[in-house]
Amino acid sequence: MCRHQANIPDLTMWDQEIRQMASSHAIMASGVFMATVVPAVLVPGFSVYGTHLLWLYSVAGSVTVVNITLFWLLGVSPPTKKNTLNYKVSRLVRSCLYLLLSCLFFHTVVVLYGAPLLETALETFSLAVLLTSLTTLRCVCVLGPNVQAWIRVFSRHGAMSVWDTSLQMVVGCSIVGAWLGAFPIPLDWDRPWQVWPVSCSLGSVIGYLTGLVVAPAWIHWHRKQLTYKSK
Amino acid sequence: MKKLPILALLLWLCALFYVAIFLFVSGFLLVRLEVNRTSTCGDVLLPGGREHGDFCQGQPRFRRAVLLIIDALKIDFARFDPANKEPRPFENKLPVLEEMTSSKPSHARLFPFRADPPTTTMQRIKGFTTGSLPTFIDMGNNFASSAILEDNLVHQLGEVGKRVVFMGDDTWESLFPKKFHRSLPFPSFNVKDLHTVDNGILQHLYNTMVGDDWDVLLAHFLGVDHCGHRFGPDHPAMAEKLTQMDEVIRSVVDRLQDDTLLVVMGDHGMTDTGDHGGESQRETDAAIFLYSPSPLFPEPSSQSDPEVVPQTDLVPTLALLLGIPIPYSSVGQVLLPLFPAHRHTAGAPAGLSQAEALWINAKQVNRFLETYSSMAKDIPPDSLSRLQADFSRLSSEYLSMVNEGRLPSPELVASLQRYLTSVRDTCRATWARFNPAKMAAGIAVLACACVLCYVLSEMSSALVREPRLLRAPLLTAAAVGVCVVAGQLVVQGYAEGSWCLAAAALSSEVLVLWRTRQTRKSNAAEGRGWLTLPDFFMTPAFLVLLLRCASLLSDSYVIAEGRVVTFLLFSLSLYIPFRLNWDGFLVPPVHDPLKHAGLLPSPGLSPSAVRRESAAVLAGLGLLVASLYLSLSFHGCREEQGSCQPSPFLWPLSRVQDSRVKNLHYVLSLASLGAWSYTLRRWLRHYGNLNSPGVAVFTARWILPLLSVCLGLHWAVAATPDDSFRNLAELIALGQRALPMAAFALLGLGLALLSLDPLTVFIKTRAAAPVRSSASPPPPRYRASTGISPQAELHHLIPQLYQRMRRSLEEGEPARVPEGEGRPAVEAYGLGTVYSAPLVLLVGLLGLGLLLLHPEGMALSFLLMMLEMGAMLQIHASSVTLNNQQGARLDGFAVSWTPLVLWSLASTQFFHATGHLPTFPSIQWAAAFVGFPGGHTGTMLPATLVTLNTFASHILFAVACPLLLFWPLVCEVRGGRGGRGGGEDGDDNAIMEMRLREVPQQFSSALLQLSIRYLFISGAQVFASVCAAAILRRHLMVWKVFAPKLMFEASGFLVSSVFVLVGVTLVMRVDVAVGRWFQRLLPDVSR
Ligand SMILES: [Zn+2]
Ligand SMILES: [Zn+2]
């Protein structure tokens, strides 16, 4: 597939790959957008602040569906060595397990960052689900259920394709967005978006969208400097 | 190692910060001494043998008074302009005042009422009840509570038996606890709540007025002020609020009786945004409206009414009108229009005449001035003597007039007025004015000091190489200071110390900066331009420091400081492994060696060592995160944090009622105490520091455990309820006194022993006496150099010695005789941690001493603090090892910014996690009575104890700061062993801290750099809070949040810097001792 041709400095190839990425990112962004707009039309009383958890899960769900579909269609994920059903099932099970673990991981980290332990456990866990869908899910889709590859991808020379680079960016932006989202919480402004976890989930989604925009642009901009070692 | 130049440089840097803080604080925080004397009726004896002996027995002009205080009633709100056809929301909303003054000119009058800064409600209430000029810090002996101890109206009214009924803002209740006949306080804290206080007052006001259960009625409305804070004055809500007040005034006026005086007044004004606190005219100019159903002003608008009534003048006026003595510390002057010009022609039956009132007033003010000037020296002496001369002249003039039976002349009245005015102006100049010049100078010196710290920390190696670099600029600066003194003496006749200091500090800073710039320019080798942004400003460490500083500018963040710092600390510590991974150091390269063998240089660390170091980083991170999270449960609560519950561990055990909880807490504390001591001993033993017979080891072996035992016993005794063991009461009392004393003594002894001989090295020439004589231990080439001085020989010899000693660095591990050689082995236990062991011991001792000053439950928090320190050191050490795995150290022993920022943040974090808060009510005063249950006679000792208690975490982290330099070396041996295990030559790796002695220049420069960087980080935070106080001096929260924060940050810096110096001094002391030790050893070995 294209990921193996990426180390050839062929600009047309590059352009095609970047265009592919840009369009898939546009679909992902529009998925987030639809997840906000469609329930607003269908569900009475829906609003981002008021029924925040509903919005959160709708975004998380749409991101999940769009991601899985797109990456499956694009076939970005690493080629499986074995094609047996057993292997596929075990991969699927491991993916689900990792996603669940990632939810718990994010929940723990957020609690350690200062979220209340018990009172808002549901809200905190929902944020963890959202963060998982924005970050870990993409890791699973791009790299497969392989934690070592995930760790490897977040190093300076760890990216091995444009999809890896975009993964770095999207995940980084989402996390930084959620981190920044915590800043307005202590302020005494009494705004609806300061309620836990609205600002953080908004921050992470905004960061995610930023990442979706920035990644293709950055790769396009630096396409001449980028070289990938083949795996 | 160059000791004195380094210490001098550090001292000079600290002094710069001190000067800056002193300058700013003396311009910003005005300090006044409280005079705790009260006036009595006897003080007011009228001269000339008047008929009524006791002033208080006489018939006062008014029997009763109603004071309606409308918070932030600006003069603009009270004025009425009939020509204004389109009034803004705050204009023309109080028509009642205008109606009364125009329809009954001899009954009512409206004046602007000028408050003195700080224009905050609490200071203003103090001001118009004591008649003085309260500053932010009124130095008195009521640190612990906010109650007014100075003489005041409420007190005087109570003395003569007048019943004072109060309703409204609950600030009054804290200022005058139990002073009111009846009191109906309502919560004033929520600024967004416009109505609770006002409606509460209105429910009771009219009923109370109609009844006869009062003599003075105080009602303090808050709605207008809160409306200003919430919406600003130009808002429909303000119109509503003022209209409501208009109705209130009307209703009160309707219910007044003839013998009652009505005062409607604001305590301060507000800016156009609705804030107050500063000194602009909008903030200071409130309104005062005086009314009485009986004629109040004898001659309707006859003589010149004052244009503005200063707020201090209310106190003497009200006092004399109600027939009570003027409060002792009042510096106000009676409002003359309210007194008849001549006693006998006046309509009012028993009022004082103007001259009499002024005379009483002047005598009182003079008495206060004499008392104050004997206690404090802040009033300029020349104006003081002028005032005193004025008074004695006036008094003889007045007395002769009265004795001759003449009526006082108008000239005398006018000069009495002038005297009073000049007293007030003198006092105001001393106490009630920010000094913007000093504030600006302070900020400038502070900013320069921070820049300087940064620049010097970047060129520490150059500084160590040529310590004379800074001599010329410093001498010039001292000369500038002297010149300024001389100039001041010539121009003014006297010199002001602060300006000389400012001039000297600023000039030295500028000169040194200029000098360093030149050095940098000439040092082309450095390659970096002076103005290009260095690396530090691009790192997350800097971002975190920046965020931390920015957070000091917002009141919400200061209130939530404990959480904010923890958040930042957590973020920065998570960044470390992320960064290591990003650089590819966290995981060993997984590629098969065949492929990359030719391409990459072979890594310095074997994959197993990398894996172990990575695990160490992650384990350290886990420990750090766990202790961070657990430490959150030891926080106290500010009053601004509504739903916060203070930590249960903050209660002293003696106050815990439930005995099971008490026992549990006691056992927990004891366990943490034991863990603290055990961990320390374990560490020392692990690195072989518990073997020598020296005094430092004695301290570690005996004093440390004894101290813990003392502490545990002290807690047990202190927690014993007073009534449980009656027959043991004396013993318990003795224990409460003796145990802490013993602990202090042990601590003192330990510190003294440690400074006497900090070496913990144990040397043993093992089984070598016969062998030694046969084989010469040092290789011959060194022995042959007889012509070289002993110093040089020592220099050459020492590396040889290390080669021997490194093998015996680990505890218990006997020095292995090198295979196949019959040479003697020199065993030196603990040489590898010769620098860090005394430091660790010092931290342990100090920690126990400081824990003694805390509530028992804080033992857990102290244990967490130690674990967190260990975790940070471990992370730092392992990440240094991982970062250096590709090759040798690039920059000597320099400690990078990230661990230092973490270190500094952790000190703030544990300030909170030991139950402290940057507010004055949260100071743990109980610390002053540990070991002194009967109290103190002086103030120095309790102040020291409270300071030590408050800044415990600052002290520990500052002292332990040099550990950041040593820890990577302490941990190095493991990497070396791993290396040897991997078949490499690990010999060079295993000399741990002795590496530092091989390159004394680099050691000095790293130590200097470390301390300067720590000072920079602390100093930047002081700078931020100074800026916050300066920029936000009008902010609602300035006296509640920013000014206390500034005080704590500045004091924390003071304490930290002192203890950084202590730590550095200890390291140098160890260095000297190590040098001597080698010298002693030298003849031994070379014989
Ligand atoms: Zn006020
Ligand atoms: Zn106010």
What distances in angstroms separate CA B177 from CA B147, B170, B172, B185, B399, one per listed residue? 7, 10, 8, 11, 41
According to DSSP, residue B1063 is labeled H
Tell whether the model's pLDDT for residue B192 goes beyond 80. Answer: no
Lowest model confidence (mean pLDDT) among A27-41, B338-352, B692-706: B338-352
Q: How far is the CA of B155 from the centre of ligand 2 (A)?
A: 25
Q: What is the DSSP string of B162-197?
A: --EEEEEETHHHHHSTT-SSEEEEE----TT-SSHH
A186:B578 CB<8 A: no
Q: How many domains does chain A have?
A: 1
Q: Name which residue leads in pLDDT, B244 or B492.
A: B244
B686-739 pLDDT, tens digit each: 887 787 778 888 888 889 999 999 999 999 888 877 666 667 778 888 888 889
**Surrounding residues of ion ligand 1, Cβ less than 5 A:** B 71, 121, 225, 267
pLDDT confidence of residue B773: 33
| Chain A CB within 8 Å of residue B641 CB | no
Contact of B907 with B1060, CB cutoff 8 Å: no
Tokens at B731, concatenated:
């013993």
> pLDDT-based confidence at B336, cuts 50/70/90?
confident
Contact of B555 with B572, CB cutoff 8 Å: no
Q: How far is the CA of B752 from the centre of ligand 1 (A)?
A: 53
Interface test with A, best of B629, B639, B882, B912 (most A CBs within 10 A): B629
Tell whether the model's pLDDT for residue B595 goes beyond 80. Answer: no
pLDDT confidence of residue B318: 92
Tell whether the model's pLDDT for residue A219 goes beyond 80. Answer: yes
Chain B residues within 8 A of A156 when measuring between CB atoms: 582-584
Does a structural domain hold residue A1?
no
> pLDDT-based confidence at B49, cuts 50/70/90?
very low
Rounded Cα distance between A160 and B808, Å, is 48
Q: Name which residue leads in pLDDT, B891 or B1059.
A: B1059
B146-176 pLDDT, tens digit each: 788 889 999 999 988 899 999 998 889 888 9
> pLDDT-based confidence at B645, cuts 50/70/90?
confident
Q: Which of A229, A231, A219, A215 is nearest to A13 (CA)?
A: A219
pLDDT confidence of residue B300: 55
Tell whether the model's pLDDT for residue B259 goes beyond 80. Answer: yes
Tokens at B874, concatenated:
């471990």
| Chain A CB within 8 Å of residue B813 CB | no
pLDDT confidence of residue B499: 85
Q: Name which residue leads in pLDDT, B126 or B784.
A: B126
pLDDT confidence of residue B3: 82
For residue A25, the distance in angstroms to the closest alpha carbon of chain B comes to 25
**Residue numbers of the domain that contains A113:** 11-221
According to DSSP, residue B856 is labeled T
Does a structural domain hold residue A197?
yes
B197-219 pLDDT, tens digit each: 999 999 999 999 988 889 999 99
| Chain B CB within 8 Å of residue A114 CB | yes
A175-199 pLDDT, tens digit each: 999 999 999 998 888 888 888 889 9
Q: Average pLDDT for residues B626-636, to the nearest whole number?
A: 91
pLDDT confidence of residue B139: 58
A155:B581 CB<8 A: yes
Q: Average pLDDT for residues B330-342, to the nearest whole number?
A: 85
Q: Average pLDDT for residues B10-15, to the nearest whole number?
A: 92
Task: For A148, name the nearest residue in chain B, comparing CA atoms only.
Answer: B587
Q: Average pLDDT for residues B593-606, to the nearest whole number?
A: 51
pLDDT confidence of residue B196: 87
Does a structural domain hold residue A203?
yes
Task: For A117, name the nearest residue in chain B, comparing CA atoms only.
Answer: B629
Task: For B556, name the nearest residue in chain A, comparing CA atoms only.
Answer: A187
Tell whether the model's pLDDT for residue A5 goes beyond 80. Answer: no
B901-951 pLDDT, tens digit each: 999 999 999 999 999 999 877 888 788 888 887 777 777 888 899 999 999
> pLDDT-based confidence at B290, cuts 50/70/90?
very high
Angle, helix B436-458 to helix B497-522, in steps of 10 degrees? 30
Task: List Cβ neighbours of B749 (8 Å cut-off, separation of 6 or more).
Answer: B699, B703
B855-898 pLDDT, tens digit each: 888 999 999 999 999 999 999 998 888 887 765 555 668 888 99
Does a structural domain hold residue A37?
yes
Chain A residues within 8 A of B556 when measuring between CB atoms: 186-188
Tell whether the model's pLDDT for residue B656 goes beyond 80. Answer: no
Q: How far is the CA of B120 from the centre of ligand 2 (A)?
A: 7
B783-827 pLDDT, tens digit each: 322 333 444 444 444 455 555 555 444 333 443 333 333 344 455
Q: How far is the CA of B224 from the centre of ligand 1 (A)?
A: 9
Tell whether the model's pLDDT for residue A141 goes beyond 60. Answer: yes
| Chain A CB within 8 Å of residue B554 CB | yes
Contact of B912 with B918, CB cutoff 8 Å: no
| Chain B CB within 8 Å of residue A187 CB | yes
pLDDT confidence of residue A78: 67
Q: Average pLDDT for residues B1034-1059, to the nearest whole number?
A: 88
Rounded Cα distance between B719 and B725, Å, is 12
Contact of B320 with B334, CB cutoff 8 Å: yes
Please count the other Cβ atoms lying within 10 Å of the Cβ belonging to residue B601: 8
Task: For B585, name the nearest residue in chain A, comparing CA atoms only.
Answer: A155
Interface test with B, best of A152, A188, A199 (most B CBs within 10 A): A188
Distance of CA A192 to the CA centre of its chain: 25
For residue A231, the distance in angstroms to the closest alpha carbon of chain B comes to 10
Q: How far is the CA of B571 from the centre of ligand 2 (A)?
A: 37
Which of B578, B587, B629 lies at the smallest CB-CB distance from A112? Answer: B629
Which of A113, A157, A186 lies at the smallest CB-CB distance from B570? Answer: A113
Does a structural domain hold residue A158?
yes
Chain A residues within 8 A of B559 when measuring between CB atoms: 186
pLDDT confidence of residue B920: 79
> pLDDT-based confidence at B28, cuts 50/70/90?
confident
Contact of B297 with B100, CB cutoff 8 Å: no
Residue written as token pair 């902010």: B1035
Task: List Cβ neighbours of A137 (8 Å cut-off, separation of 6 or more).
Answer: A63, A64, A67, A68, A99
A156:B584 CB<8 A: yes
pLDDT confidence of residue B316: 93
> pLDDT-based confidence at A119, cuts 50/70/90?
confident
Question: What pTM, to 2 d.p., does this model score?
Answer: 0.79
A155:B557 CB<8 A: no
Tell whether the model's pLDDT for residue B276 goes beyond 90. Answer: no
pLDDT confidence of residue B796: 44
Lowest model confidence (mean pLDDT) among A45-54, B187-196, B236-245: B187-196
Q: What is the DSSP string of B307-366?
A: SSEEGGGHHHHHHHHHT-PPPTT------GGGS-SSTTT-SSSSPPPHHHHHHHHHHHHH
Tell whether the model's pLDDT for residue B1075 goes beyond 60. Answer: yes
| Chain A CB within 8 Å of residue B87 CB | no
Interface test with A, best of B193, B558, B566, B582 (most A CBs within 10 A): B582
Tokens at B577, concatenated:
């492994």
Instruction: For chain B, give the mean pLDDT.
Output: 81
User: What is the interface pTM, i.e. ipTM, of the complex?
Assistant: 0.93
Lowest model confidence (mean pLDDT) among B310-314, B427-431, B834-838: B427-431
Percent of chain A with pLDDT over 90: 48
For residue A222, the distance in angstroms to the closest alpha carbon of chain B comes to 19
